[in-house]
Amino acid sequence: MKKLMSPILRSKSAILLVLIAGGISLAIPACKKDSTTESGGVTEDEAGNVISQAITSQGGVMVQTSGAVGIANGYGARIGAKASDECGVEKTENVSFGVNDSLRFSYAWKWKLTCTDSLEPKALSFSAAGRIKIITSGMSVNDSSVASFSVSGLEPDSSNLLFNQTFNRTGTLAFTNSTDIINTRSYATTFSYVATDVKVNKETGKIISGTAAINYTGTSITGKTFSYSGTITYGGDNKGVLKLKSGKTINLIWYN
């Protein structure tokens, strides 16, 4: 079988499109006023913005999902062919990109193919470990991350792939103001994402349906804490809705 390469590495221009299109501010409140309620000094809108980034851009969930779809389809495209030279063999690949020192991400990816008794591609186990750095005029994020997920449905008679994913980030979040540097807000943060039975169309590479639970927490250097949790519902056409526990909704949009 031909050696497979991540779709991300095949096109750095595609990475740049994801980074720019994903943007630094994708959190778009849906029919609600901006939140003024704070938890530990971090508002719902600020937390929603960081959560949105973790899902839609800068090496986040959607970039990982897109890469895994490309790899899975690379195996599944050999309809009727055997995969005896690939079954159970762990593959590795490093993915990295940086626009400048203010925007960088890197991942070490690993995956292993599971086959049927007749040696046809069946499923993938996939993991990633990496770092993400984002610095804007008012905010900085510097995180390490780990991801683990399974991708089933590689059989030729299956039109969809099924994802079950976990994605965790730990690191720092800081809000800065060039005119008020003394009052910079800094936090140690953790973010978790758990997706169950997310369906992805093989042909288009787009999510059709599924849900994911998220939790975002942090503690400031002065001991203040914040905690936001909610559920993402995917609705197809590269769109989803994040609903926080408070009832606030945030529209998510991304690009393949």
Q: What pLDDT, on the 0 to 100 scale, is given for residue 76?
A: 66
Q: Averaged in consecutive runs of 10 residues, what is the pLDDT profile of the chain (256 residues)?
A: 44 40 38 44 90 85 88 70 76 85 86 87 91 86 93 89 96 78 83 96 92 96 92 92 95 84
- Tokens linked to 253: 């949009």
pLDDT of amino acid 13: 39
Is residue 59 within a helix (H) or strand (E), and if so which, with residue range? none
Secondary structure class of 145 (helix, strand, coil) = strand
* Residue 19, CA distances (Å) to 12, 45, 198, 218 in order: 11, 20, 23, 25
Spatial strand order of the sheet with 207-220 comes to 28-29, 249-253, 239-244, 225-236, 207-220, 185-201, 160-175, 139-152, 121-135, 103-115, 90-100
Give the pLDDT of residue 47: 93
- Partners of 109 in beta bridges: 93, 128
Predicted local confidence at residue 164, as pLDDT: 96
The pLDDT value given to residue 38: 45
pLDDT at 30: 38
pLDDT of residue 31: 38
